[in-house]
Amino acid sequence: MENLNELYEAILAGKLAPAVEITKKAVAEGLSPNVIINDYMVKAMEEIGRRFEEGKVFVPNLLISARAMRGALDILKPLLKGDPTVYLGKIAIGTVKGDLHDIGKNLVASMFEGCGFEVINLGVDVDSDKFVQSIQENNVDIVCMSALLTTTMNYMKEVIAAIESAGFRDKVKIMVGGAPVNDTFAKVIGADAYTSNANAAVAKAKELIDSK
Ligand code: B1M
């Protein structure tokens, strides 16, 4: 069996080619994409973040680790796809204004797609108008917002206010996530749910669709 600690080390060191190669081998050996993602890839991103916080590494290190993580994740994405005949509903997802972090958001989007949701990925640095427009034009069931910065998470409240003043609050469920966000914050800003990871987001989205 492939030694996946090498995948952890490759992402931590920002080595794209080895990260991709090890992931391909792990897949060929039948390892679960969820284990590869959660036990090695996400852990490496957490560690590079910790080192950044301690001043041991710098923004370029974050960038190359993110590139290695994305490359490895691209190998796994097709495997997250589920039964194409299942349709659970439509989700618009974006990282809020001022925030460029998209690895977690894209992971959540891929899991949604894999589990039978149609996903409109609005990208990063998404303002309230764009969220409102996505509801207007695409008839979405759930709006999901992601934020990784304490300085951008508060913008989620503005998006909810904009959805309310556009008259769509009763039409959509609103979910929020990202490292600095938590359940209390979600309640305070008037979101319908907070989830801490991609698997929990899928389970909660199914629950919210059932309750509509
Ligand atoms: Co940034 N960064 N970064 N960064 N970065 C953090 C977030 C930070 C915690 C690092 C640290 O100091 N330890 C820190 C934030 C501190 C704070 O606000 N308290 C930080 C900082 C400070 C910054 C800059 C300001 C640095 C600078 O320029 N001086 C700058 C800001 C740029 C901006 O956005 N305007 C910046 C830039 C960057 C890069 C561009 C270099 C790069 C991002 C590349 C990219 O995404 N394309 C980057 C990276 C890579 C990180 C860390 C190291 C890793 C983030 C990541 O990808 N994690 C991060 C440290 C950390 O998080 N520990 C850090 C892996 C990913 C799978 O997890 O995104 O948490 P995550 O997603 C999870 C859950 O949160 C959840 O599910 C996902 C999967 O399980 N989830 C949702 C996420 N969104 C969801 C939405 C949902 C539900 C669940 O909707 C329903």
Please give the pLDDT value at position 81.
73
- Cα dist from 136 to 14, 57, 90, 109, 179, whole Å: 40, 43, 13, 20, 29
Q: How far apart are the first and last CA of the chain?
A: 45
Strand order in the sheet with 89-96: 117-126, 89-96, 142-146, 173-177, 193-194
Please give the pLDDT value at position 52.
95
Calculate how far, in angstroms, residue 100's C-alpha sits from the geometric centre of ligand 1: 8
What does the pLDDT look like over 177-204, one tens digit per residue? Answer: 999 999 999 999 999 999 999 989 999 9
What does the pLDDT look like over 130-182, one tens digit per residue? Answer: 999 999 999 999 999 999 999 999 999 999 999 999 999 999 999 999 999 99
Please give the pLDDT value at position 117.
93
Cα–Cα nearest to 121, from 139, 102, 100, 147: 102
The structure's pTM equals 0.95
**Tokens describing residue 152:** 């951008």
Q: What is the mean pLDDT of residues 26-47?
A: 93
Nearest CA to ligand 1 atom 32: 100
Nearest CA to ligand 1 atom 25: 149
By three-state DSSP, how is residue 115 classified? coil
Q: Is 105 in the pocket of ligand 1 (CB under 6 A)?
A: yes
Please give the pLDDT value at position 115.
86
Residue 2 banded pLDDT, cuts 50, 70, 90: low
Calculate how far, in angstroms, residue 101's C-alpha sits from the geometric centre of ligand 1: 5
Calculate how far, in angstroms, residue 102's C-alpha sits from the geometric centre of ligand 1: 8
Q: What angle do CA 182, 93, 15 make, to 5 degrees?
A: 85
Q: Is 198 in the pocket of ligand 1 (CB under 6 A)?
A: yes
Nearest atom within ligand 1 for CA of residue 100: 34
Q: Is the pLDDT of residue 124 over 90?
A: yes
Q: Is 201 in the pocket of ligand 1 (CB under 6 A)?
A: yes
**Tokens describing residue 124:** 């990063």
What does the pLDDT look like over 45-84, one tens digit per residue? Answer: 999 999 999 999 999 999 999 999 999 999 998 888 776 7
DSSP codes joined into one string, 5-40 = HHHHHHHHHT-HHHHHHHHHHHHHTT--HHHIIIII
- Cα dist from 35 to 38, 51, 76, whole Å: 5, 23, 11
Calculate how far, in angstroms, residue 29's C-alpha sits from the geometric centre of ligand 1: 30
Q: Is 96 in the pocket of ligand 1 (CB under 6 A)?
A: no
Q: Please, are residues 144 and 136 in contact by the beta-carbon 8 Å criterion? A: no
Residue 114 banded pLDDT, cuts 50, 70, 90: confident
